[in-house]
Amino acid sequence: MRDLYRPLDEGIVRRSLEDWKRLWHEDPSRWVKELRDRPARYDRALWRRAFRSWWNEIPREESDLPLQGVPVAVKDLFDVAGDVTGCSSRVLLEALSPGPARRDAPLVQRLREKGAFLAGRTQMNEFAYGLDGKNASQGDCPHPLDSNLIPGGSSSGSAWAVAAGIVPVALGSDTGGSIRVPAALCGLWGFRQGWKKEELQGVFPLAASFDTVGWFCAGPRDMQFLLKELLPSGDGSGKNEGPSPGAVRFFSYTPREVVLDETVRRAREDWEKNLSEGPSPVMVEALPDAWRIRLDAVMEHALDAYNVICSREAWLCHEPWLDLHRDYYDPLVWALIDRGRHWSETRVSRAREVISEVVQVVEEISAAGDGLLLPSVATPTPDGASLGQEYRETTLRLNMAGSLTGFPALAVPLHTGGIRSCGVHLLVPPGSEGVFQTVLDALAPRERRLRR
């Protein structure tokens, strides 16, 4: 394992956004060398399991844009003008062979407009259908610190890129937890935007009703800056010029069907305690019993509703070529998509009713406070051999409230000692993203203490 993870011992460190910006302005030639040297410092086979491509272009020297000099990795389902979007799948890369994208996806476009440099494309679970980072054709993406552990998925390569110190920012997508889960398992900060149809243009869909976009970074200050610069208009960006006034309150909740590992439970309790010690504008309270009973009642059916709609919408997207190119799919991914053709209209209709019920209850709870706080995973970073259907279902249950409501989410890492980690995520109603700035203001000075 030492050969694979050489750079972790030999000088690649996590640079902040400000570090990269400063290096670009003070020493552009060193900036270029650092970026170009990164692939050579890793085992080639490992690199290919995290990155599909690495672009050795040199950024244009422009005016002092807010993200000038910041390299960004892009998950392989975002359109980048002039490049082929492959979804880490032989179906697209070999069977269908689509041409290069004509224009950037909206989030990619905003990054370019702010001066960011697109460094490369990251691998993912095939067609984003998975939470473990495994990919039968491109190779399983490893955890950045131990190849026996999983990084989480489906935005596995993007999480790896930030956690390994390759880039300070990487784009991901989140349908059932694909930003929140890797952030927890790799010890990163993550953000998933609220659901907006226009933000999904140029993003290859898994399930259009649940798909959202977002990013990973390594620290709360970087997250604050990215929220201020990258949120589309109308998503609370006006509130991101500073903290929201007054205190904010989150209700803590874990679905009734989920039993948290003792390590995760303690890490979450310690985090909440540390956050509330001393003057802090952030309060975390247990969800009152009346709300918990109502939410438990609707969440009991949430996973089934998600699976029905997710697979139905995935099948509608893949139907023209699903059978014709079956041999190009990972058999597991093909089977997950194929489920969608077999649901009755009654089952689909009932699933949509359940989703509406979840949305109603979560919106009412959020109106009584500022949002919900939930665990993102039930166990610290697991090894690949311990995964199974139960792990997938448990992880999905923890992330269903955000997925079904389309609420924006801030993923916060919790460190459990050693290289394993877990995490929580905060949900707020769309348009209330400014609340996250208050949370980040409270967390930033405590981050070192919270990592102990």
The number of domains in the chain is 1
> Exactly one of 88, 156, 158, 178 is catalytic; which is it?
178
**Active-site annotation holder among 75, 158, 311, 432:** 75
List 88, 154, 155, 158, catalytic entry: 154
Specify whether 89 is catalytic.
no
Q: Does 369 fall in a domain?
A: yes
Looking at residue 273, what is its pLDDT?
82
| pLDDT at residue 58, rounded to an integer | 78
Burial class (CB in 10 A: 0-12, 13-18, 19+), 405: buried
Residue 170 lies in a domain: yes
Q: Which domain holds residue 230?
A: 6-450
Q: 279 in a domain, yes or no? A: yes
Supply the CATH number for residue 329's domain: 3.90.1300.10
Q: Examine residue 1 and state whether it is found in any structural domain, yes or no.
A: no
* Among 118, 54, 57, 121, residue whose Cα is nearest residue 89: 121
Give, for all 452 residues of the chain, the pLDDT tens digit. Answer: 333 333 443 445 789 999 999 999 999 999 999 999 889 888 899 999 999 999 977 777 767 899 999 999 999 999 999 999 999 999 999 999 999 999 999 999 999 999 999 999 999 999 999 999 999 999 999 999 998 999 999 999 999 999 999 999 999 999 999 999 999 999 999 999 999 999 999 999 999 999 999 999 999 999 999 999 999 875 654 444 444 446 899 999 999 999 999 999 999 999 988 887 766 789 999 999 999 999 999 999 999 999 999 999 999 999 999 999 999 999 999 999 999 999 999 999 999 999 999 999 999 999 999 999 999 999 999 998 778 899 999 999 999 999 999 999 999 999 998 899 999 999 999 999 999 999 999 888 766 544 44
User: What is the C-alpha separation between 77 and 123, in angstroms, rounded?
Assistant: 9
Give a yes or no: residue 255 inside a domain.
yes
DSSP three-state, residue 22 = helix
| Residue 154 falls in the annotated catalytic set | yes
Q: Is residue 311 flagged as an active site residue?
A: no
Predicted model pTM: 0.94
Tell me which residue has tokens 């394992």. 1
